[in-house]
Structure 1
Amino acid sequence: MASHVFMIRQETAPAQWWFLSLAFVGAAYAATVTLRFVAYLALCRCHRPKDDLRRRYGEWAVVTGPTSGIGRAMALELARHGLNLVLVGRDPAILREISGTVKSLHKVKTKTVVFDLSLVWTPDGDEPLRRLREAVEGLDVGVVVNNAGVAKPGAVYLHEADVEAWVRMVRVNMSAVTEVTAVVLPGMVSRGRGAIVNIGSAGSEYIPSLPLYTMYAATKRYVAQFSRSLHVEYASKGIHVQCQAPFFVDTRLMFRFEEAAGGVSLFTVTPDAYARAAVAWIGRGGALCTPAVRHQLLRRMAAAAPDSVHDWILLRLATWNRKRCFSGSE
C-alpha cells in the first residue's frame, strides 16, 4: 500500500508542477497587461497644462481638414491650448467660418490656406502648395495635424470603383500627408523641436483586414509606416512624429458598422471627446497610439480574436453596409 501511494505521488507531482508553472505565467501576463492598461488610463486622465504645447513645441499649429469632424474639433482644442492656427482646407467659406469661431472663442491668431489636397502632385496643386509654404514661412510652427482624409469609395469591390476615385483617395490620404509634412519639417529641424500628428485608422493597424474598404485601409497603413519611420529618423532632432489610430468616431467618414454590430456603438466617441484625448497624447507615447480610452478597450478586445474570426465578421458587416449604401437608406 505504501509503495502504491508513493507511485501516485510521483505521478501527480509533475502535473502539479506544470499547473503551478502555467498559473504563474498566466498571472504574470495578466499583471503585465493590467499594469500597462492602468498606466495608459493614468496618461489619458492627465490634463496637459494649457500652455504646455505652445511652450514645448511652438506658437503655431497647422491643421488640415479643419472644417468638420475630428479636424474641426482638433483645431478648437489646439486653440484652447493657446496655439495660433494655420487652417488648410478646400472650402473658403467654411474656412472663414471656423477661423472666426476659433478667434472668437479662444483669442488666438489664424491664417487660412485654400488647398484642395486631392490636387497634390498635379500641376493644379503647385500654386496652393506655394501658398502653404508662404503661409508658414517665418512662423514658429510647433504642431502639425494631418487630419484630412477620404474614405470614399467605400463598401465596394476594387474593380467596381472609378480609377480616378482611387487616385483622389491616394492623393489626399498619402500624398498630402507627405507633402504637408515636408513643408513644415525644415523649420522644425532648424528650431530643434516639433510634433507631427498623422491621423491613421485602427482599421489598418489592429485588425487583419478591412474588406470592401481595401484602398482606405491600405492608404492608412502608409500613414502609420510613414509616421513610425519619421519618428525614428527625427527623434534625435527634437521632433516627435505620431500616428493616431482611432476606431469609431462619430463623423461623416465613419462607416457606421456599429449599426450592424450592435454593442460596438458603445465604443463610438464624439469628435470633441476624441480631440481632448488626442491633444493630451501629442508628444507622449510612441509613434503609434490610440488615444481614446474606449478605443483602447476595443483594441484589447480585438487582439483576443483570431484573424479568421475578424475576417468572417468584417466581411459580413461590410456586405451589410454595402447593401445599405446602395439601397439609399440611411
Structure 2
Amino acid sequence: MDSFNAFTSTLGTSLVLYVSYKLLDTARLYLRPSSLHRYRYTDASGQRSWALVTGSSSGIGKCLAFELAGHGFNIVLHGRNPSKLEAVRDELQATSPNTSVRILVADASQCHRPEAVDFERIRDELASLHLTVLINCAGSGPIPAFGALETYGRDVILDNLHLNAAFSPLLTAALLPILRGQYRKPTEHLGNGTVAEESPAGPRPRGRPALVINIGSVTDDGFPLVSFYSAGKAASHTLHKALAREAALGGWSDVEIMSHRIGAVTGVSHMQAPPTLFRPDARTIAKAILARTGCGRKSVVPYWPHALLQVFLGALPVSMVDRTINKAMRRVRDEEAKKKE
C-alpha cells in the first residue's frame, strides 16, 4: 500500500508539472515578440527584402501583404485577377509609399496545367528579387459554400484540390532555390545555341534566414460540408511539416518553414459576418500569424482563442467532438442559407 501511495503521489506530481509546463509554454508562445525582423535585411547590393503572398487580392492574403509592407518589406502580390491585383497594388502604395510592389498573375486552381501556370517562368521573374519570405495563402472553399460532397461537380472538386493542395508545393519547390540564395536565371544566349548561366550566389549567410509560411485550417481534421477543402488543407499542412523535417534532414537551416492552422474568420470570400472573439476579421488573423513568426514550431494555431478551442476539443471524447463539430457546421450552413433567402 505504501508503494502504491508513493507511485500515485509521484504520478500526480508529474502530471501537475507536465500541465504546468504546457501552460507556461503556451503562454510564452502568445506573449513572445515576433521574430519577423530576422527575415528583413538588405542583400549585398542594398536591395530590401521582398515577400511574396499568394492569394493576396483579398481576405487574409491581402491583409498579410499590408502588414508586411508596414514592417518594411517590398511585396509581390499574387492572384488570378489582374484588375483586382492592380487595385490592391494602388491601395498598398498609397498607404506605404516607400514600398515597391510587383504583381504575379496565375490561376492557382489550374496549376496542374503547364500551359496555364509556368513555374519556371515564375521563378525566373522573381530571381532578381531579394526574396526572403514566401507565404502560401492562396486557397478557398468551393462556391456555393457548405455543401454536401455529392452536390459538387467533378471540375469544382478537382479545381479546389489543385488550389488548396497542389499549388503551394509546386510554387515552393520552384522558389526554394531563390529563397536559399542558390539560383540565378540564365542571362546570356551564346552563338552555338547554348546558354550561359550566372553563378549561384551560394547559401544565405548565417543568421540571414528566409521564411516559408503555409496558411492552413483547423478543418484539416476532417470537417463536414467542406470535405474536399478540408482534405486539401490537410495535404498542404502535412507537406509543410514534412518540408520542415526535410530541411533538418538535409542540414539546411537557411529557410524556416511553418504551417499556421486558422479557425473561423470573417471578411473573407465565404464569410462576411460581423467579427467576434472566436470569429475575428482577416486583419486580426494576419497580425496573429506574423506575431507567431519565428517561434521555433513547425505548426501553430496563431490566434489564441482558436488555440483554446483546439485544446478544448482535444480533451473531449471522439464521439463528443464529432457532435460538436457537426452542430457548429450545421449552424454555419443554416446561417448562410438564410442570407440567400
TM-score, normalised with respect to structure 2: 0.80
Structure 2 distance, partners of 1:301, 1:221, is: 20
How many equivalent residue pairs? Answer: 307
- Tell me how far 1:123 sits from its aligned partner: 4.5
Describe the shift of the 1:125–1:161 C-alpha distance in structure 2 as closer, same or farther (beyond 3 A).
Answer: same
Describe the shift of the 1:49–1:302 C-alpha distance in structure 2 as closer, same or farther (beyond 3 A).
Answer: closer
Structure 2 distance, partners of 1:213, 1:281, is: 27
- Tell me how far 1:314 sits from its aligned partner: 2.1
Structure 1 distance, partners of 2:339, 2:92, is: 36
Structure 2 distance, partners of 1:199, 1:98, is: 20
- Tell me how far 1:21 sits from its aligned partner: 4.4
Identity %: 24
- Tell me how far 1:24 sits from its aligned partner: 4.7
1:200-259 Cα deviation digits (max 9, x unpaired): 111214xxx312221111111101110111111124212111110011222335669x99
Instruction: State which of 55, 80, 88 in structure 1 corresponds to 2:78.
Output: 88
The answer to whether the Cα contact below 8 Å between 1:141 and 1:184 also exists between their aligned partners in 2 is no
1:27-68 Cα deviation digits (max 9, x unpaired): 533442333333333332333377432139971111001122
Corresponding residue for 1:7? Answer: none
The answer to whether the Cα contact below 8 Å between 1:50 and 1:80 also exists between their aligned partners in 2 is no
- Greater helix share, structure number: 1
Instruction: State which of 304, 309, 313 in structure 1 corresponds to 2:320.
Output: 309
Corresponding residue for 1:151? Answer: 141
Describe the shift of the 1:108–1:225 C-alpha distance in structure 2 as closer, same or farther (beyond 3 A).
Answer: same
| Bigger-Rg structure (1/2) | 1
The answer to whether the Cα contact below 8 Å between 1:91 and 1:114 also exists between their aligned partners in 2 is yes
Describe the shift of the 1:31–1:274 C-alpha distance in structure 2 as closer, same or farther (beyond 3 A).
Answer: farther
> What pairs up with 1:1-330 in 2 under 5 angstroms?
14=1, 18=4, 21-22=7-8, 24-48=10-34, 51-55=37-41, 59-106=49-96, 107-127=98-118, 129=119, 131-153=121-143, 154-189=145-180, 190=182, 191-192=203-204, 193-205=209-221, 209-235=222-248, 236-237=251-252, 238-253=254-269, 265-326=276-337, 328-329=339-340
Describe the shift of the 1:30–1:68 C-alpha distance in structure 2 as closer, same or farther (beyond 3 A).
Answer: farther
- Tell me how far 1:72 sits from its aligned partner: 1.1
The answer to whether the Cα contact below 8 Å between 1:113 and 1:131 also exists between their aligned partners in 2 is no
Gaps of 5+ in 1: 1-13
The answer to whether the Cα contact below 8 Å between 2:36 and 2:290 also exists between their aligned partners in 1 is no
Structure 2 distance, partners of 1:131, 1:147, is: 20
Structure 2 distance, partners of 1:325, 1:51, is: 40
Partner-residue secondary structure (3-state), 2:41: helix
The answer to whether the Cα contact below 8 Å between 1:41 and 1:293 also exists between their aligned partners in 2 is no
Letter in 2 for 1:149: G
Structure 1 distance, partners of 2:29, 2:42, is: 18
- Tell me how far 1:132 sits from its aligned partner: 2.4
Structure 2 distance, partners of 1:290, 1:142, is: 23
Structure 2 distance, partners of 1:214, 1:30, is: 38
Partner-residue secondary structure (3-state), 1:144: strand
The answer to whether the Cα contact below 8 Å between 2:93 and 2:101 also exists between their aligned partners in 1 is yes
Partner-residue secondary structure (3-state), 1:55: coil
Moved more, 273-282 or 48-57: 48-57
1:160-212 Cα deviation digits (max 9, x unpaired): 2111100110111011111211121011232344211011111214xxx3122
Partner-residue secondary structure (3-state), 1:240: strand
RMSD: 2.8
Gaps of 5+ in 2: 183-202
